[in-house]
């Protein structure tokens, strides 16, 4: 047992000694602050790294667009938090579009009645038609948005206004010529056409290919397999579509009331909604990305890597186009934003009363949101995902699939669906990280890149496919970064130098890479990686 | 005797390589059929083609008289086909219990089959909480077979069950396969001709991706010329 883990134990011992040496070089107050800050940076890194490691472990996809999902989550969260009216305006068209996608399983039944599945060209034509319909309809739906060009109407101004507690929204406006009812009908139709053409395109792959040419797909086997359960599934889908349609129309009818209600909730609840919304947005985008773009490329890893890299660029441009270039802030929720008399809080009891933004611990000032809340959320996610992996059937399938996904499929499990789920889960965690990090690091179209780099380094340190490894690697990277920043201020006294050596800020990212290089030299598989 | 599985003239490519060039075979209901042939003849690829893990590009496969070619592997498996892959491919990071539970297709599958499985492989009951990686080679092979017995499978595809095992354990394995074949139909890939000839009632010989000969095992045992020609000295 001891022999097996000898190298791991030695590496951990060396790291512990280095850690103690580093902390000896400063006062207890500074040491505590640095450790807490390191853990908090580690927590945000972990939210990105954990998804990356799940996706890489199960699907062998190194998702270079993960930082972009982190960023998109942050921007979606900001929108819910600062402009709830825009989100309410967007819900009806989105719900109507989804109706068509939810009804996708109906299409094979309908088309099956007609005899055979139409050729792929009809799928592409349908896709184009849905696009045109959306382009015509969407501008005619009244939506209140910000303007990236006009400073008074820009995200920057709205962020400032929210932090001052006074938000005033412009009225919803439509730029297209159609009446809103016709436009909404157009969106609904576009969703149905979209669902139909996607069904045609995905069914195309079911037929057997003979020398590169697709033969017509066969009808499903007769008898017991397709019978009641199939119709049951169709019924469930139809009910879901009906509810979606109803919800969309309800939101449309109660638009103003809903906006007023959301604003009345206050920043704490809105922030909670932003966390949920940012997570779901990133998860949906991740799932969509896996289904449409990554899936056809599982046999071609290099293309896949290029694809995720390209998506990262596209995501960056998308954010610049929608939210504008300038960086802006996301005000902290009231729970963590108290100032004035009695702040920073002297004790936890005082904090609970005043909700100060900072608290005194051992004489050092600690920011409650950045340095305590983030760590707690990181721990909660760590425990929740570990439980999911160890206790649930899905977790069991993921752990088995990491080793041999073909064998899992041969057991009768739809591995492709599990892939999509895990991709969405990983993307959702990144989105959650984005919303959480936004109040402390601010929003910018480049915010995803540095986090992605940190997460990749953390992953390499922890062993690419190991989930605990991702956690340990993230914490190590966070601590390393914070220690180097601190030593950049106080300097490291070296015996052969007159003046203490002060690492410059540019050495901060280099130090984490150095840590990775040293660990990988000692353990080429990373701390928790395994040799295959 | 009706055929549970019929394969008509399938061709399978792996990348650029034409691995199967016309394999046809029939597996009668309730029998053990052995798939014989030299290394690299295409035996494992035949099993994987049935399951759609390496989908055939031409030809037809019928299971219970229904076409199953062109379907996704999980859909094919769910019709009642169990796979025991070569090299004892169990899930090493999962415990023995989890290795069995993951094969459940309906809730309670394992509870219904527990007694039968542990009567075949009493060792597994003792090891139930150990991680798969701690099992010996023979125990891993037993677990791989047990895993295919958890759901209601009608056909088992077993790939090289005796490979790399000690003679005593091979005996145990053969007894287990013989016993489970009273309920299930088995298509068995086996390099060890002595094992195959003792287990199977029928045989199919594959050579260079073609099925060249099939019939009753009893006839093959009396035909040393054929054995020498296709399987080497046996």
pLDDT digit string, tens, across residues A178-219 = 888 888 899 999 999 998 888 887 765 544 443 333 343 444
Query: Measured between alpha carbons, how far is A363 from A269 in angstroms, rounded to an integer?
Result: 32
Task: Assess B133–A contact: CB distance below 8 Å, yes or no.
Answer: no
Task: Assess B147–A contact: CB distance below 8 Å, yes or no.
Answer: yes
Q: How would you label A303-324 residue by residue, b for 16+ Cβ within 10 Å and e otherwise?
A: ebeebbeebbeebbebbeeebb
Greatest alpha-carbon span in chain B:
51
Of the listed ranges A139-153, A205-219, A421-435, the least confidently predicted one is A205-219
Residue ranges per domain, chain B?
Answer: 29-51+81-231
Of the listed ranges A60-69, A220-229, A484-493, B70-79, the least confidently predicted one is A220-229
Q: Which of A278, A258, A267 is nearest to A78 (CA)?
A: A278
Q: What residues in chain B have per-residue pLDDT under 70?
A: 1, 233-234
Q: Can you read off the two tokens belonging to residue A239?
A: 């009910």
> Residue A276: what pLDDT?
95
Other beta carbons less than 10 A from residue A223's beta carbon: 10
In which residue are the tokens 């390393």 written?
A480
Q: How would you label A46-77 residue by residue, b for 16+ Cβ within 10 Å and e otherwise?
A: bbbbbbbbbbbbbbebbbbbbbbbbbbbbbbb
Calculate helix-pair angle for A447-462, A507-522, nearest 10 degrees.
Answer: 20
Nearest chain B residue to A391 by CA distance is B98
Query: Measured between alpha carbons, how far is A301 from A317 in angstroms, rounded to an integer?
Result: 25
> Residue A424: what pLDDT?
95
Of the listed ranges A197-201, A289-293, A423-427, the least confidently predicted one is A197-201
Residue A284 to residues A99, A104, A385, A387: CA-CA distances in angstroms?
Answer: 15, 17, 18, 23
pLDDT tens across A476-519, in order? 999 998 888 888 888 777 777 777 777 777 888 888 898 899 88
CA distance B108 to chain A (A): 13
CB-CB under 8 Å, B79 with A210: no
Of the listed ranges A199-203, A400-404, A424-428, B157-161, the least confidently predicted one is A199-203
Nearest chain B residue to A223 by CA distance is B66
Residue A526's region, left for phi above 0, alpha for psi from -120 to 50, else beta, is left
Of B57, B58, B151, Cβ closest to residue A412: B151
> Residue A207: what pLDDT?
44
Residue ranges per domain, chain A?
Answer: 6-204+228-522
CA distance A391 to chain B (A): 10
- What CATH number is given for B29-51+81-231 in this structure? 3.40.50.300
Of A221, A393, A403, Cβ closest to residue B91: A403
Q: Which residues of B touch A416 (CB under 8 A)?
A: 72
- pLDDT band for A222, please (50, 70, 90 cuts): very low
Q: What is the mean pLDDT of residues A295-312?
A: 89
DSSP conformation class of B151: S
> Residue A463: what pLDDT?
86
Is 90 exceeded by the pLDDT of residue A49? yes
* Residues 207-266, chain A, touching B (beta carbon < 8 A): 207-211, 217-218, 221-223, 225
CA distance B148 to chain A (A): 8
> Residue A221: what pLDDT?
43
Mutate to test the interface with B, among A411, A415, A417, A529 (most CBs of B within 10 A): A411
Mutate to test the interface with B, among A202, A223, A410 (most CBs of B within 10 A): A410
- Taking a C-beta distance cutoff of 8 angstroms, is the pair A66, A430 a contact? yes
Other beta carbons less than 10 A from residue A260's beta carbon: 13
Other beta carbons less than 10 A from residue A261's beta carbon: 12
Q: Can you read off the two tokens belonging to residue B215?
A: 């019939």
Please state, rounded to an integer, the average pLDDT across all residues of chain A: 84
Query: Measured between alpha carbons, how far is B183 from A322 in angstroms, rounded to an integer?
Result: 64
pLDDT tens across B177-226, in order? 888 888 889 998 988 888 888 888 888 888 888 888 888 887 877 878 77
Select the more confidently predicted residue: A179 or A111: A179
Query: Measured between alpha carbons, how far is A344 from A362 in angstroms, rounded to an integer?
Result: 13
pTM of the shown model = 0.86
- pLDDT band for A2, please (50, 70, 90 cuts): low
Q: Which residues of A touch B83 (CB under 8 A)?
A: 407, 410-411
- Taking a C-beta distance cutoff of 8 angstroms, is the pair B155, B81 a contact? yes
Interchain CB contacts (distance < 8 Å): A and B: 82
Burial class (CB in 10 A: 0-12, 13-18, 19+), A341: exposed
CA distance B93 to chain A (A): 7
Nearest chain B residue to A394 by CA distance is B102
Q: Can you read off the two tokens belonging to residue A527?
A: 């701390």
Q: Which residues of B touch A221 (CB under 8 A)?
A: 66-68, 79
Q: Give the best-scoring range by mean pLDDT among A137-151, A339-353, B138-152.
A: B138-152
> Residue A220: what pLDDT?
44
- pLDDT band for A224, please (50, 70, 90 cuts): very low
Q: What are the beta bridge partners of residue B216?
A: B202
* Residues 409-428, chain A, touching B (beta carbon < 8 A): 409-416
H-assigned helices in A84-179: 84-102, 106-113, 120-137, 155-163
- pLDDT band for A257, please (50, 70, 90 cuts): confident
Q: What is the mean pLDDT of residues A47-60?
A: 91
Nearest chain A residue to B147 by CA distance is A411
Select the more confidently predicted residue: A207 or A107: A107
> Residue A383: what pLDDT?
94
CB-CB under 8 Å, A406 with B73: yes
Q: Which residues of B touch A393 (CB under 8 A)?
A: 101-102
């Amino acid at each position: 047992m001891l022999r097996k883990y000898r190298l791991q134990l030695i590496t951990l011992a060396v790291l512990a000694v280095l850690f103690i040496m580093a902390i000896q070089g400063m006062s207890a107050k500074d040491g505590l602050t640095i450790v807490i800050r390191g853990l908090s940076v580690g927590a945000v890194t972990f939210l990105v790294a954990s998804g990356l490691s799940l996706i890489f472990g199960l699907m062998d996809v190194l998702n270079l667009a993960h930082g972009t999902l982190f960023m998109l989550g942050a921007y979606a969260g900001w929108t819910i938090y600062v402009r709830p009216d825009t989100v309410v305006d967007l819900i009806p068209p989105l719900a109507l579009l989804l109706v068509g996608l939810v009804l996708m399983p109906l299409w094979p039944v309908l088309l099956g009645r007609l005899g055979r599945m139409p050729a792929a060209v009809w799928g592409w034509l349908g896709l184009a038609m849905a696009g045109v319909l959306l382009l015509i309809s969407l501008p005619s739906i009244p939506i209140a948005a910000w303007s990236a060009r006009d400073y008074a109407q820009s995200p920057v101004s709205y962020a400032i206004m929210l932090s001052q507690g006074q938000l005033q929204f412009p009225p919803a406006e439509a730029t297209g010529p159609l009446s809103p009812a016709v436009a909404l009908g157009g969106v609904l139709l576009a969703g149905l056409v979209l669902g139909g053409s996607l069904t045609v395109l995905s069914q195309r792959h079911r037929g057997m290919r003979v020398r590169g040419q697709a033969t017509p797909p066969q009808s499903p086997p007769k008898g017991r397999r397709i019978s009641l359960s199939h119709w049951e599934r169709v019924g469930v889908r139809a009910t879901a579509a009906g509810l979606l349609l109803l919800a969309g129309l309800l939101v449309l009818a109660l638009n103003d009331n809903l906006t007023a209600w959301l604003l009345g909730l206050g920043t704490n609840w809105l922030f909670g909604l932003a966390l949920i919304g940012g997570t779901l947005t990133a998860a949906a985008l991740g799932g969509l990305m896996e289904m449409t773009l990554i899936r056809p490329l599982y046999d071609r890893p290099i293309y896949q890597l290029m694809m995720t890299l390209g998506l990262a660029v596209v995501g960056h441009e998308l954010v610049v186009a929608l939210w504008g270039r300038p960086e802006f802030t996301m005000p902290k929720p009231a729970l963590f934003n108290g100032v004035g008399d009695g702040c920073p809080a002297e004790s936890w009891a005082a904090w609970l009363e005043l909700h100060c933004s900072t608290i005194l611990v051992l004489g050092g000032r600690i920011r409650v949101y950045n340095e305590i809340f983030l760590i707690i959320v990181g721990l909660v996610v760590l425990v929740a995902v570990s439980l999911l992996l160890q206790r649930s059937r899905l977790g069991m399938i993921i752990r088995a699939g990491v080793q041999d996904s073909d064998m899992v499929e041969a057991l009768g499990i739809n591995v492709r669906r599990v892939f999509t789920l895990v991709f969405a889960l990983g993307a959702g965690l990144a989105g959650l990280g984005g919303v959480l990090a936004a109040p402390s690091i601010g929003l910018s179209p480049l915010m995803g890149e540095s986090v992605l780099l940190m997460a990749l380094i953390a992953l390499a340190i922890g062993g690419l496919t190991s989930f605990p490894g991702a956690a340990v690697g993230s914490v190590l990277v966070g601590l390393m970064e914070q220690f180097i920043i601190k030593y950049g201020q106080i300097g490291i006294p070296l015996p052969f130098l007159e003046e203490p050596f002060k690492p410059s800020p540019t050495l901060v990212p280099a130090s984490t890479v150095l840590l990775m290089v040293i660990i990988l030299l000692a353990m080429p598989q990373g701390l928790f990686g395994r040799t295959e | 005797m009706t055929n549970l599985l019929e394969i008509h003239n399938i061709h399978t490519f792996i990348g650029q390589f034409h691995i199967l060039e016309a394999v046809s075979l029939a597996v009668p209901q309730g029998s053990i059929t052995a798939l014989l042939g030299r290394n690299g003849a295409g035996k494992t690829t035949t099993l994987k083609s049935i399951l759609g893990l390496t989908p055939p590009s031409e030809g037809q496969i019928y299971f219970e008289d229904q076409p199953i070619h062109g379907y996704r592997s999980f859909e094919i498996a769910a019709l009642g086909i169990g796979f025991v892959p070569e090299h004892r491919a169990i899930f090493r990071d999962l415990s023995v219990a989890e290795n069995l539970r993951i094969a459940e297709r309906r809730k309670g599958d394992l509870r219904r089959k527990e007694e039968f499985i542990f009567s075949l492989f009493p060792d597994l009951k003792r090891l139930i909480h150990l991680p798969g990686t701690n099992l010996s080679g023979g125990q891993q092979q037993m677990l791989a077979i047990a895993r295919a017995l958890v759901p209601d499978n009608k056909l088992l595809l077993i790939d090289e069950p005796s490979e790399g095992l000690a003679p005593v354990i091979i005996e145990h394995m053969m007894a287990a396969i013989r016993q489970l074949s009273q309920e299930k139909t088995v298509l068995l890939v086996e390099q060890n001709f002595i094992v195959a000839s003792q287990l199977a009632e029928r045989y199919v010989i594959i050579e260079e991706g073609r099925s060249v000969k099939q019939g009753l095992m009893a006839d093959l045992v009396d035909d040393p010329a054929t054995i020498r020609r296709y399987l080497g000295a046996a």
